[in-house]
Amino acid sequence: MGIDFSEKTIDSAKQVSLNEKLSIMYHISDACDRIDLQNSQFYRVTYFMDIRYIEDYSGAMSEVSRVLKRERKIHFFHTSSMFLNSILKRRRNASRKSGEDTPNILD
pLDDT in tens, 43-66: 888 777 666 677 888 888 888 888
Which residues, at least 6 apart from 53, have a Cβ–Cβ distance to it below 8 Å? none
Q: Is 43 helix (H, G, I), strand (E, B) or coil?
A: strand
The alpha-helical segments, DSSP class H, found in 1-107 are 7-20, 57-67, 81-98
For residue 25, give the nearest of 37, 40, 39, 8 by alpha carbon.
Answer: 37
Res. 34 pLDDT band, cuts 50 70 90:
confident
Whole-number Å distance between alpha carbons of 19 and 101: 40
Q: Is 0.75 topped by the overall pTM?
A: no
